[in-house]
Structure 1
Amino acid sequence: DVIAVMKKDHACVRDEAVHRDTRPELRPTSHKSRSLDCKICEHIATIKSASLIQEHEQDFELREQMSGYKRMRRQHQKQLIALENRLKAEMDEHRLRLQKELETHANNTYIELERLAKRHAAQTDKEMKSVAAEERRIQQQIVAQQKKELTSFLENQKKEYRLCKEKIKDEMNEDPCTPKEEKQERLSRHKETMQRSQAEEEAHLLAQQRLVYDRSCRALKRRSLVRRHEFEQEQLREELNKKRTQKEMEHALMIRQDESTQDMERRQLQMLQKLRVELIRLQHQTELENQEEYNGRRQRELHRKHSLEQRQQPRNLKTLEMQIKKQFQDTCKVQNKQYKALRNHQLEVSPKGDHKTILKGLKEERLFPPCHFLLLV
């Protein structure tokens, strides 16, 4: 068991010596220099090493870059929001102006239609009055003509009645043998017959005049209705043409407004996209400059580090060699102590006659004698 432990210790020491990092440090300092630095730091707490100051400066530069980047992003966001608000206000004003223009056109259309309706109503009233006046005039003419005809007819009847009466009297006077009563009776019968005949003729004439008057009134009414219908059709045609013209104007106005709105939206989108592209370009340019600055700084640091390592490489190798030798000597001392302790223990617990055999076996089991390590070193 003790031999196994010794073997394991030797293997660990060898692995540690082989796998130890042989790269030189940037600034190897001795124990005296470290103690001196500690004393100085105790007396003067504000003095810091150059590497720590450099790290702080790098951290400060990185924080400044990040804060500047964030500040630039916030500024870009504010610019975008301000532009969007300005474009939105411009679009709202444009739409309000178009709405007012459309309302003005609608009001003008309504006023023109009202004016046209009033003019049509006035023309209709005037036309109806003229038609009614013409009907009354024609009716009066017909009535006057019929009165004249009736008067002439009555005068003719009176003349015929007188002629017939005189003719009968002459006939009765030619016959003196006829008694007077018979003459009076014949005269009265003839008078009644004449009056009845004249009354029938007068009634027939009045009926014909009434029929002619009714037909004339119906003809006048028909002509007035046809004329009114044509007049109303003309007015409706004029109103429909007016409405169609106004609708076409309104449609053209809405198309023009839609085109202007599309042009404004396109222009606003182009402005917004142009600003975004410019801000993204500035952001990428800033990131590229920061990255190039960081790469340059890292290259300079690595260059300084490599230069320092190249200058300090011989001293570092010598220091590392001394450390390895010291570690090897310490390991050899520990191994010798362990070997002596094992040998004494084996000699104490074994008979005296077996001491030579035990010593010979222990010598053979020793894996790495101290002389071999010295030769290797």
Structure 2
Amino acid sequence: MKTLDYPLEMKDVEPEMAKKLMEYFTGEHTGFVRVGPKGYFLPHQFRQEAAKIYNMEIRPTDVFVCSYPRSGTTWTQELVWMVANDLDYATSDAVPLTNRYPFLEFSVYVHPVMKKRFQEENKNSAEKLQLLEWVSQPGTEQLAQMKERRFVKTHLPLSLLPPNLLQAKVVYVARDPRDVVVSFYHLNKSMRTQGYIGDFKTYWDFFRQDLHHWTPYFEHLKESWEMRHHPNMLFLFYEELSKDLPAAVRRVADFFGKQYSEEQISRLCDHLSIESFKTNKSVNYDVMKVIGIMVAETDGFIRRGKAGGWRDYFDEEMSSQAEQWIAHNLRDTDLRFPHF
């Protein structure tokens, strides 16, 4: 396969700003980059993986689940995998979601300083060291070794992924950014690869000012929204999964050319319920707790699964900021978030 030159410019985030951010995000030790004309914000290590990701082989049988983080990604991954694999509950229960879906760019978030720390903490367990090597291996390498149908998780926007991505099936899921930022705040506190130690209001400021991982948020969504009519793109909203999960299941089934009975759909919806998810070890990223990347005493990877929960966190000033920020960013698009 011909290797393409990486077409996007990468600029280091200004040293003073990077230093300030690393005081809050203690898992990063080198700095950050902005990528492409939209300035996507990523760890400095992305420089090493950018071209490999852009040039990775796309197989027509591949399935990508893409999203901005905390938009219902895990929920969508399990839904998509179950539908595409003929409701194979036995494999779903036996094989963790992390094994079924390599996380394409996760390795760029495991800084060498942190990896060394995790290796030291796990040095007395060969099994844990092996797990650590596996989760920190570049996703492109994991995927190249796979012979079976590949399911891929990524939080990268379309413009940072291979230009022929839509030769594969792509499911994109989006969520109200106010709920996203609340959920991502909790995850960033629990994941030592980010290690956020500030308060929520400061976190919100970083997020809306595009000084946070995978931002700018709205540009991320718009890239996929603009491709939503492509036959290999399915665009979902977290809110529609929350409001009418059976309808969302049918949309996914149609996308993959599958037909299921009402009884089968009902059972799958039970399997996908937040209550079931919270106790399902296969989808709870337990491997991250086992090797110490996720702080063990936190609530876990699956939280409340509540649409509109942001109201418990935003004060009047933040709510006003959010309304203006959302309106400003949606002014040139027909993208709108469903509300109850």
| Structure with the bigger percentage of strand | 2
Same fold (TM over 0.5): no
Give the TM interval when normalised to the shorter protein. Answer: under 0.3
TM-score, normalised relative to structure 2: 0.17
| Structure with the bigger percentage of helix | 1
**Structure label with greater radius of gyration:** 1
TM-score, normalised relative to structure 1: 0.16
